[in-house]
Amino acid sequence: MLQKTIKNFTQNPKNDILSGLTVALALVPEAVAFAFVAGIDPLIGLYGAFMMGIVTALFGGRPGMISGATGATAIVMVHLIQKGNEVGDALAAPIDNLGLQWLFITLLIMGGIQIMAGVFRLGKFVRLIPHPVMMGFVNGLAIVIFLSQLGFFKESSSGVPTWMTGTDLFVMLGLVFLTMAIMFGLPKLTKKIPAALTAIVVVACVTIFGNIDASTVGSFIRDGGGTGLEGGLPTFQIQIFSLFETINGHWGLVISTAFILAAIGLIESLMTLNLVDEMTETRGSGNRECVAQGGANIVNGLFGGMGGCAMIGQSIININSGGRGRLSGTVAAIALLCFVLFGAPLIEQIPIAALVGVMFMVVIGTFAWSSFRILNKIPLSDAIVLVAVSAITVWQDLAIAVIAGVIMSALVFAWKNATRIRARKRFKEDGTKVYEIWGPLFFGSTTAFNAKFDVKNDPDKVEIDFIESKVTDHSGVEALRNLANKYVAHGKKIKFTHLSKDCKALLIKRNPEFETIIEDNIDDPRYYVVTDVMDSEV
């Protein structure tokens, strides 16, 4: 493990350092913007991005993946912070920004939940996400990133954001297109330096030395009500341990918010991990990422950051810039902190247009353009899932979209398998009617299974053979129990053959009399093969 970690830091340090610097620049406006969304100071967002970034870079399950403050989590925080501030203002001795203190406490609970998810190895379930859901996810993500950048094309006029017009709009568009052109053309000439970092530096120099009046990181922060990037090191928030009593009567809100934040954070992080796995043709550890994300959020709660999860856009920037090791995420986090401590005046001069251009190129690279080509070639159900996940991502958020997509895919799968159960009928020489069942017996197929039998008109001896079938859940066991009782009630003898050991145990547990109608002493080599395989799958 130690050797692998060291290798992740030393395999390509030049690319990791340069891509880390690129990511750090792209993190600044995102962290600030999401802090404004949550209604907190921009420095809280920057501290959150630093702490999320450094912890997950060092201990996360996916080298090269970037974490920080995200919009999906920021939106969930809004109501908690507002409610906390209301309670703080209503106290006999009012407490300023009590909502922010509640957020720090919530992050401690959120982190604990995420760590437990990793300990109980729940990260592996991301592998169950179907490909149409994944494609819909990246398409919706690309659209969300694109729409989020449009806000930078607005300017504040008397406190009311309005769309840019005239010279301001043309300057903004020109700088955006210049950034995109550099990112598109530079890799064709050389891949030794990150195109995104080069584009940001070139456009910044053009703006500064050309004395061009354009919106910058500094003006963006001040327009949002902030005072600037400059700040000190994060400090231990010891006061939160004396504020637990202020939550009395509101623990339901705090705990429910923590669970929602934990779920959203894990879904986004594990989906990002899956996406980066595909891009790099390597495999990360979902369970390790769960623990790292939880630890990072606990650190945020203790040291005054806003928390968050994996950032898909910045992760893609990092991968496309050549950052594949843990060093890239570490450099990004440390560089971000250095911006706050030492480089605020310089970073504040970077034009927003350069960062918008970088994100537009991320949109182009993220969107699965092949989905248009294959949309009429894949099953209709998969096409509906793909489009629905994309739409829900834009309409609601990524986590809800993924959950909805998985549920839709699961229902389609259940429906298809419910229609596949078959019963081949034949008679033995002694007159016994044999039903040879083919296909899975589960909650979705029990109705079709029951329709295969003619209890009233069947002969006195009936055998149901499950060598080509598998009883997969309690609904299937109940269907067998009810069917056996029907035959017994009509005075007929029924026998089950080739049932797996687990199904036999469940049936006998429900009714010990089943031991007399289940036959397991069968001289058929296929029986042992099938039951062994089935038992190994349980």
Give backbone dihedrals phi and psi of 464, rounded to 5 degrees, phi first. -115, 115
- DSSP at 513: G
One-letter amino acid of 327: L
User: Which tops the pLDDT comparison, 68 or 39?
Assistant: 68
pLDDT band of 453, cuts 50, 70, 90: very high
CA 473 to chain centre: 28
Report the share of the chain in percent with pLDDT over 70: 93
Distance separating alpha carbons of residues 306 and 297, to the nearest angstrom: 8
Shared domain check, 246 and 126: yes
**Residue 209: CA atoms inside 13 Å, Cβ hemisphere, count?**
6
- DSSP at 394: H
Q: Quick check: is 477 in a domain? A: yes
Q: Quick check: is 76 in a domain? A: yes
Q: Which residue, among 54, 55, 59, has the nearest Cα to 23 in the 3D structure?
A: 54
Give backbone dihedrals phi and psi of 494, rounded to 5 degrees, phi first. -120, 145
Last residue of a domain, one of 350, 383, 407: 350
- Segment of 53-57, 94-98, 441-445, 471-475 carrying the highest mean pLDDT: 53-57
Q: Which residue, among 375, 413, 367, 405, has the nearest Cα to 389 in the 3D structure?
A: 405
Shared domain check, 272 and 124: yes
Q: Quick check: is 49 in a domain? A: yes
Last residue of a domain, one of 350, 381, 400: 350
SS3 64: coil
CB-based contacts of 25, cutoff 8 Å, min separation 6: 197, 200, 347, 350, 355
Q: Quick check: is 244 in a domain? A: yes
Shared domain check, 118 and 242: yes
Distance separating alpha carbons of residues 192 and 197, to the nearest angstrom: 12
Shared domain check, 465 and 318: no
CA 345 to chain centre: 35
Task: Give the pLDDT of residue 527.
Answer: 41
CB-based contacts of 424, cutoff 8 Å, min separation 6: 435, 436, 438
Distance separating alpha carbons of residues 273 and 261, to the nearest angstrom: 18
Shared domain check, 464 and 345: no
pLDDT digits (tens, 9 = 90+) for 194-212: 788 889 899 999 999 999 9
- Following DSSP, what letter does each residue of 462-486 receive, concatenated? EEEEEEEEEE-SHHHHHHHHHHHHH
Residues facing 309 on adjacent strands: 68
Number of domains in the chain: 2
Q: What is the CATH number of the domain that holds 435?
A: 3.30.750.24
Shared domain check, 457 and 324: no
Mean pLDDT across 119-138? 83
Is 102's pLDDT higher than 90? yes
Shared domain check, 424 and 322: no
Q: Which residue, among 354, 275, 350, 263, has the nearest Cα to 311 in the 3D structure?
A: 275
Is 154's pLDDT higher than 50? yes
Shared domain check, 425 and 278: no
Shared domain check, 238 and 111: yes
Task: Give the pLDDT of residue 532.
Answer: 39
Task: Give the pLDDT of residue 112.
Answer: 97
Last residue of a domain, one of 350, 382, 399: 350
pLDDT band of 116, cuts 50, 70, 90: very high
Q: Quick check: is 138 in a domain? A: no
Q: Quick check: is 246 in a domain? A: yes
Shared domain check, 426 and 346: no
Shared domain check, 336 and 460: no
Mean pLDDT across 242-270? 91
Q: Quick check: is 28 in a domain? A: yes
CA 145 to chain centre: 15
Mean pLDDT across 242-257? 92
CA 374 to chain centre: 24
Mean pLDDT across 367-374? 86
Shared domain check, 343 and 423: no
Q: The domain containing residue 322 runs over which residues? A: 14-132+234-350
pLDDT digits (tens, 9 = 90+) for 481-532: 889 889 989 999 999 988 877 778 877 877 787 788 888 655 544 444 333 3
Report the share of the chain in percent with pLDDT over 90: 39
Q: Quick check: is 206 in a domain? A: no
